A and B are shown apart, each in its own frame.
Chain A
Amino acid sequence: MSKHANHDWPGLVNSALTSFLQEQGISARDIADRHRQRQQQAQQEQAQQQPNGEQPVEQENADQEQAQPAPPAAASPITIPDSDDEEEIEVTVAASSSSNSRPRRAAAAATSTATAAPATKKRKRKSRRRGDDSDPCSDDDFVPEPAARRSPGADPICIQCRSVIYRWRKSAFASLCADCVGQRAAADANAPADEPAAGAAPKGKGKAKARGGARMGRARNVAADFALLRDDQDLKKAMSTVPPLKDMCIRALSEHIDDVEALGDVSNETRRKLARILCKKRALDASVLPLFTGWEITNLTLFDCTKLDANTLAMIARLCPNLQSLHLAFCGRTADSTVAAWGEAWSDSLEELSLNGPYLVRDAAWAEFFANVGGRLTKLHLDYPAKLGPVGVTALVDAQRDSHFPLRDLALMHSDAFDAACVPLLSQFVNLDKINLLHSGHAVTDQHILSLFRNLHNLRAFSISHAPQISDAALFALRWRHATLDHLHFEAIESFTPGGVLSWLSGTWPPVQPRAEGEEDGDDEPAAPAAAAPAPPGANGFEEPMDVDGSDEGEEEYPGELPAPAEEEVPALSEADIASLTQPAPPLHLTTLVLTRCRGLNTDMAITPLLRATCGTLETLGLNWLDRLTPAALLPLVEHTRRQDATGPGSPNLKVVDLSWVRCVDDPTLEMLVSQLPLTEVKIFGCHRLSPVVATRTWTNVDGEPVAVVGSEFTEV
């Protein structure tokens, strides 16, 4: 976009062509003005000649066309960009002016126009030459006239220094001002007399030939020159830069890769650090990989395998035949052949596998791999296994069955092919204590959740997100795992309701949606929720919360009263399930509770009782995006610490809190939390009510230790 906006229409954005025409001083108005001027000058000359002798009108017209005066030095004929034949342009102009009236053309034809036309051309050339003698720039088409041609904002601009060009040079450097052209000439003069760079403009006779040979448009020439200039500058800059010490060390290490023993005894921790450094520099490639491999290596972690192709990744199997634990990040080039080689080499050793990005591996290849190594796996983390489907999961189940399901930790994240046929198979991993289905919950239903919680007796950590088909029944089923569950992560689960939370905590079914105090039957909007502390008036003046997703007009995004589920919508919990779940359950002792973007729980009525039930053991709390909470919802975290008796569920251990986009958080709220809890980190992204003081002050927790307040960097100071 041009630097100079269109002053006629300041609100519009110019296209690249419009910007170019403006910079060149080309506009329809200018062309019309010039033509009108020429006609006026011709008429004036005709008027001056008339007193000298009468001439027939036609002859006068013909003479007028023949004796069309040369334009003044500052004026120039009509120009057409990217057209290199100036002579043709001149003739075109003359022809167009003569064709304005047919009688004139006829008269011109009657009076040997064949001789006149060449004269016209010759006269044009002479005028141009005279123009050259008088003014070096007069031959140029783009020298702007003060009155007619130049329009506001249309001054030609140097593309290098962005200054206005007052003397245009008709050359390949037309878009550079005189100073920049001089600098470039000096740089070229100082350049070594080697072969010219590819694409460089030839000099001397070659230059003339190049100009007359493959002619490029003016804009393309300028762009090519500018690009060439940038390449020269970049090259010189690179040559004058001292390489970092890290890069030199990495390069030297790769050269000495054959002398691994010469590098000395390297501990696993050092090796891991080195891998991290190399991966941070994107320097891990096939030549450096042997540094981290060996027959004695049992644990291999590579943080960035971007530069390792499928064959190199497969080579790991030969280089580390006794590998027990493999962690590869950004291994998008893993192919079917790679996992096949791994399966053959590590069938008796591999126990832990963590891959980030194996999206190319197909379901059949996974099946073959799991058939070889699945029986020994205790930990399997796959992030973005885009093609892992029922065939692969079935093969894993079959392999695990033979060894009595040793799998303890399973994470299948961003699994696009993880469909409804795969989910029921998960409940067969009876020894699982961690299961992670973040971004893979699209096919998970309440029945699947019930089956998981019913069968996985050792389940400690459960994470799921983007599961539109699960509802309050899944929350209710958590009661089966109260004794073991300590990590709960729900993300973007919109079907949960405050009634479901109460049902889960109290052991009653079906869930009954709570009503705030003072709310009468039939009210559309619930009153402010009851809280131990007096609720701030109007939620501290907090008006309607900002909806970061944007709400459609006329659509009520947060209904004042949550609809009770209809009879036919209640999940089919069996009588036995209900009877079992309504039994008294052990109290919750969650250490991690994350409820990111659970819109159905975006109310104090859901969060307050949940925090009251879990605050005694919580170490990590995530309430990201629950923007309708009030500060009263967070009071249970602090109230517990105020109790003098020690009969509560334990001392507060809350270390990390994510309050990003919890709009009610203001300075007093944050002060309350930080000063009364043993926090180490608080995230406050999007908390717009916080003052700039948050970013500058030093925060210390109840133990006097520093607290990292993350997200305040973006607060305006």
Chain B
Amino acid sequence: MAETATAASASNAAPGATPLDLTDHVRLVSADGFEFVIDRKCAMASGTIKAMLSSPARFAESQHNVVEFKDIKAVILEKVCQYLYYKVRFTNSSTEIPEFPLGPPHQLLELLMAADFLDC
């Protein structure tokens, strides 16, 4: 996933892009244009994304599997994606849960606000 994040180009994240496989992956687009393609199961660990993708109201995000975050920078969104994988990996796990690296202190505020928005 990290390679995906760093290798992702700042491409135009048009909602009308080729939809991904419904059952596999979801594309998260940051405010500065970076795209993060993550497993759908991990994306569903966020309450907000889950509501967007699985709501019966048929949001545009659920039809194209693309979610844009105009207020979240790529650095923060990357950390959030890492956390989603971390959460799926260690939830209901019998192994010891390692500590999640939050990153430098100056990003904590933005990360907190992003986590609050994404409900994760």
Contacts and interface: CB of A to CB of B under 8 A. Distances in A.
Most chain B CB atoms below 10 A, which of A246, A256, A259, A263: A246
A249 B108 contact: yes
Contact of A263 (B91, B105, B120): B105
A252 interface: yes
B112 A253 contact: yes
A244 interface: yes
Contacts of A273: 113
Contacts of A52: none
B109 A242 contact: no
B106 interface: yes
A245 interface: yes
A246 B87 contact: no
A126 B83 CA distance: 68
Contact of B108 (A240, A242, A253, A270): A253
B58 to A, nearest CB: 12
A256 to B, nearest CB: 5
A266 interface: yes
Chain B contact residues: over half helix, strand or loop, or mixed? helix
A242 B87 contact: yes
A246 B83 CA distance: 11
B76 to A, nearest CB: 11
Interface string A247-279: 011101100100100111010001001100100
A293 to B, nearest CB: 16
Contact of A245 (B83, B90, B91): B83
Nearest to B115: A245
Contacts of B91: 240-242
Contact of A277 (B90, B92, B97, B113): B113
A267 to B, nearest CB: 10
A256 B108 contact: yes
A256 B111 CA distance: 15
Nearest to B57: A698
Interface residues of B, number: 22
Interface string B89-118: 011111001001010011011011101100
B86 interface: yes
Contacts of A240: 91-94, 97
Interface in A24-52: none
A126 to B, nearest CB: 51
Contacts of A248: 100, 102
B80 interface: yes
Contacts of B113: 270, 273-274, 277
Given A264-B109, A266-B109, A242 B97 contact: yes
Interface in A203-254: 239-242, 244-246, 248-250, 252-253
A372 B120 CA distance: 46
A245 B79 CA distance: 10
A692 to B, nearest CB: 16
B101 to A, nearest CB: 10
A249 B105 contact: no
Contacts of A244: 115, 120
A259 B115 CA distance: 22
Contacts of A259: 105
A662 B75 CA distance: 52
B80 A245 contact: yes
Interface in A442-489: none
A186 to B, nearest CB: 15
A250 B109 CA distance: 9
Contacts of A252: 102, 105, 108
Contact of B102 (A239, A249, A262, A270): A249
A264 B105 CA distance: 9
Given A242-B86, A245-B120, A274 B93 contact: no
A264 B106 contact: yes
A260 to B, nearest CB: 10
A270 B109 CA distance: 9
B66 to A, nearest CB: 22
Contacts of B112: 246, 249-250, 253, 274, 277
Interface in A99-158: none
A468 to B, nearest CB: 45
Most chain B CB atoms below 10 A, which of A239, A242, A250, A266: A242
B115 to A, nearest CB: 4
Nearest to A281: B116
B100 to A, nearest CB: 6
Contacts of B94: 240
Contacts of B108: 249, 252-253, 256, 263
Interface in B58-94: 80, 83, 86-87, 90-94
Interface in A276-310: 277
Contacts of A242: 86-87, 90-91, 97
Most chain A CB atoms below 10 A, which of B91, B93, B113: B113
A156 to B, nearest CB: 33
Nearest to A262: B105
A470 to B, nearest CB: 45
Contacts of B92: 240
B106 A262 contact: yes
A244 B87 CA distance: 8
Contacts of A241: 91
B106 A263 contact: yes
A220 to B, nearest CB: 33
Nearest to A266: B109
Given A242-B86, A245-B80, A263 B100 contact: no
Nearest to A255: B105
A277 B100 CA distance: 21
B109 A246 contact: no
A686 to B, nearest CB: 26
Contacts of B83: 245
B74 to A, nearest CB: 17
Nearest to B99: A248
A250 B112 CA distance: 7
Contacts of A263: 105-106, 108-109
Nearest to B103: A252
Interface string A53-80: 0000000000000000000000000000
A245 B88 CA distance: 13
A262 B93 CA distance: 35
Nearest to A239: B97
B60 to A, nearest CB: 16
A667 B79 CA distance: 49
Most chain A CB atoms below 10 A, which of B87, B100, B116: B116
Contacts of A264: 106, 109
| 5 smallest beta-carbon distances between A and B, as pairs | A249-B112, A245-B115, A246-B115, A264-B106, A256-B105
Given A244-B115, A252-B108, 8 more contacts: A240-B92, A242-B91, A245-B120, A246-B115, A253-B109, A263-B106, A263-B109, A274-B113
21 contacts: A240-B97, A242-B87, A242-B90, A244-B115, A245-B120, A246-B112, A248-B100, A249-B111, A252-B102, A252-B108, A253-B108, A253-B109, A256-B105, A262-B105, A262-B106, A263-B105, A264-B106, A264-B109, A266-B109, A274-B109, A274-B113
